[in-house]
Chain A
Amino acid sequence: MTMNVKATGPATLLLMAALLTSSARAEVSDNAIHYLIQAEEFEYRYGEDQDSLNWDIQGWVGTDENKAWLKTEGEKILGGDLESAQAQLLYSRNISDFFDLQAGLRQDFKPEPERTFAVLGFQGLAPQWFEVNLASFLSDDGDLSARVEAEYELLLTQKLVLQPSLEVNAAFQEVPNQELGSGFNDLELGLRLRYEIEREFAPYAGLQWERKLGETADMARAEGEEVSATALVAGISFWF
């Protein structure tokens, strides 16, 4: 996908500067730069009304302390439009053993109109092995919203892993042109069973359930839209 260069250029420069200032001594490369690109979800969703292709891909490059993160997620309706597409470019600073503070920009390419957000959040591993991401977003229109994501991994065997996931979005004010009400906007629950053929490559299948909440749900009903959707999913997760 194409990035909005105008919006992300300054952030990229800041990130590069942060990475280059990290000191390193030749004899022990304990500040070496590593990277990860990980497609957690790359899947086909068989819905009640429509099918779609969905992705949730994240990547980072950097040292233990300083990283640049790129996150993108979106949905393409089969035989239809790109329903949603967004990307975040973040500077990620390790602030405790298990958590990073992240700040940067988010660009929503779809739904239109395109919007830009400032992002501030935390990402890391909570006690009891919950992978969590808490992020707040301030749009270029001054709208404030927040997102909570959590995942857990249940090992059925060393290679067969059941992964429940949760995402909640909330807005602190109404955003009519996005059909978002104030308060909780939506809840997504997922359950995916993957088989790690290699650590880096795992096909999976599962369920995805989404429901609009509160005012957002009321707005959808008024438009004659469904407020909840369930889909069977099948995909691959991979990283390199």
Chain B
Amino acid sequence: MSFLNQAKPVAAALFLGSLSLASLSAKAGIYNLTIDEVMTDIGGELRPAMGINGQIPGPELRFREGEEITLNVTNNLEEDSSIHWHGLILPYQMDGVPGISFDGIKPGETFTYKFTANQNGTYWYHSHSGLQEQAGVYGPLVIDAAKREPFRVDRDYTILLSDWTNEDPNDVLANLKKQSDYYNYGQRTVGDFFEDVAQIGLAETISDRVAWGNMRMTPTDIADVSGYTFLVNGRNPDQNWTGLFKPGERVRLRFINGSAMSYFDVRIPGLEMTVVQADGNNVKPVKVDEFRIAVAETYDVIVRPKEDTAYQILAESIDRTGFARATLTAEETTATPALPKLRERPLLTMADMGMDHGAMEMDAKGETGDMAGMDHSNMAGMSGDAMKSGIAPEAANGGKILVYGDLKSLKAVEDYRAPEREIELRLTGNMERYYWSINGIKYSDADPVKLAYGERVRIKFVNETMMSHPMHLHGMWMQLDTGKGEFNPLKHTVNVPPGQTLTVDVTADALGEWAFHCHLLYHMATGMFRKVVVEETPDLSSLTAPVGE
């Protein structure tokens, strides 16, 4: 293995310094990217990684809405690679998924992507080959609006959150296959058992342990992988990425979760955040104290710091193993403040297992699991609290946390109409053996989901696992049902929490073959993936057949 960029430690690559890459011409721009082997010490030891233009994350791509874009992507790795433009609506051949959109980029070769930016907002880009995204092949992508935006800002910063591991991503996956709880150092111990006995009594504690034991699941499965160093724009918490402001200015923060596996709860103590965009689309402004960002989502918020001081941007991983941290400051030189204490690691409850919904098919192969025989009398002893979700986010200051129900598109969505049919996608998997699937079937065994060009289809996600899944559809927007009718927001990635059901409507307005998958990298890699084919005249029998079965 040769390291092409040894002379240039990635940690030192200045993120904003690469703005010069962007073309100044609004109508047509040519951009050159290389995918390289690099070295980084961002996680405390010098490790091989993969970067774009020699850096992690890759340079911020800044396009103009309406711009005709040419991107020459050269693969300098010794293995196949690819770049996918996450959230962009473009011809399917330009979508960058090997085996679906194109053949991938062979070592030493250059692929030229050509498309027009027909949208604006905050997006990102990343490799869609193997586990390269975890190794560092990702970057931010911003498309400036052609028209005046419905809000005014004085400053504009991109806050790209990500998770770095010193391990080879292939070793991470191998570890999970060999021992699925390899990274879970928050499991319940004998000590916890006696604490629970003291708190809720012996009978309840035992019935709780028996309920989880019957499912062979653990309430501590909050995140599959730990040991991460969390980054903001490629900087670890000690390096403390810092943005300047003048008191009273409106500062736009474009949050992107470019993590392989990590969800974050984001807050800026002392500042209220106004959410103005979700996944690149304007939403009716919502004032929040905190928001949870699933893997691959983006949120744009506006803050207005008034004090002549420093504010910490804190993105706390949901398994409470660490922070990604950045600082907004009015003064150039500030001492890096100490990080606050991590909140307590959450525990899933039976509510997160959908136990209040009755019918549960836990088994990947459609058998009814042991839970079916378990009625609520088993849990009658559980206190009311125990039946509340253990993983639903709460603001650290007790204030307002963003929920999907808050999201309302600023404009009525043009093609809002009743769906012609519904496709149910059960999100399934086997934590113990570490494989993930849809309707109990892994990608390699599944038929594609076929859609007729122009049809409106409702997709109902039913999460039957104990993990959250950020489901991402390529090439077409998902209109997330938040009860706002034609103002339901458009998203490219929707988070489906454990045990919950969520529906989105999709207009199949993009011919071609598209990827549709869980954006947790190791879930995607082990089977939670489908190909979606949009055809003019699909085989009708495939439309009526249950999807994926």
Contacts and interface: CB of A to CB of B under 8 A. Distances in A.
Contact of B99 (A25, A125, A129): A25
Contact of A158 (B189, B367, B445): B189
A96 B97 contact: no
A128 to B, nearest CB: 4
Contacts of A34: 174, 177-178
Interface in B130-149: 130
B319 to A, nearest CB: 13
Contact of B213 (A24, A25, A26, A129): A129
User: Chain A contact residues: over half helix, strand or loop, or mixed?
Assistant: loop
A96 B365 CA distance: 7
B443 A25 contact: yes
Contact of A98 (B187, B210, B216): B216
Residue in A28, A29, A64 with the greatest tally of chain B CB atoms within 10 Å: A28
Given A96-B367, A158-B185, A158-B189, A30 B529 contact: yes
B527 interface: yes
Interface string A70-97: 0000000000000000000000001011
A26 B435 contact: no
A197 B380 CA distance: 40
Given A28-B525, A28-B529, A128-B214, A158 B98 contact: no
A23 interface: yes
Given A25-B444, A128-B210, A155-B187, A199 B179 contact: yes
B189 A155 contact: yes
B213 A127 contact: yes
A127 B299 CA distance: 42
Contact of A127 (B128, B216, B442, B444): B216
Contacts of A129: 213, 216
User: Chain B contact residues: over half helix, strand or loop, or mixed?
Assistant: loop
Interface residues of A, number: 27
Contacts of A28: 99, 443-444, 524-525, 527, 529
A69 B496 CA distance: 37
A74 B187 CA distance: 33
A239 B178 contact: yes
Interface in A146-201: 154-158, 199
B97 A30 contact: no
B110 interface: no
A9 to B, nearest CB: 28
Contacts of B365: 96-97
A161 to B, nearest CB: 10
Given A30-B527, A125-B216, A155-B188, A94 B433 contact: yes
Contacts of A97: 216, 362-365, 369, 430, 432-433
A8 interface: no
Nearest to B369: A97
A156 B192 CA distance: 9
A20 interface: no
Residue in A23, A64, A128, A158 with the greatest tally of chain B CB atoms within 10 Å: A64
A129 B430 CA distance: 14
A27 B524 CA distance: 10
Closest 7 CB pairs of A and B: A27-B99, A30-B527, A128-B213, A34-B177, A155-B189, A36-B178, A158-B185
Given A97-B365, A97-B430, A199-B175, 18 more contacts: A23-B444, A23-B445, A25-B443, A25-B444, A28-B525, A29-B130, A30-B443, A31-B444, A34-B177, A36-B178, A64-B435, A97-B363, A127-B216, A155-B188, A158-B187, A158-B189, A199-B182, A239-B178
Interface of B: 97-100, 128, 130, 174-175, 177-179, 182, 185-191, 210, 213-214, 216, 362-365, 367, 369-370, 430, 432-433, 435, 442-445, 524-527, 529
18 contacts: A25-B99, A26-B98, A27-B98, A28-B524, A29-B130, A30-B435, A34-B177, A64-B433, A96-B363, A97-B362, A97-B365, A97-B433, A98-B432, A125-B216, A129-B213, A129-B216, A155-B189, A158-B186
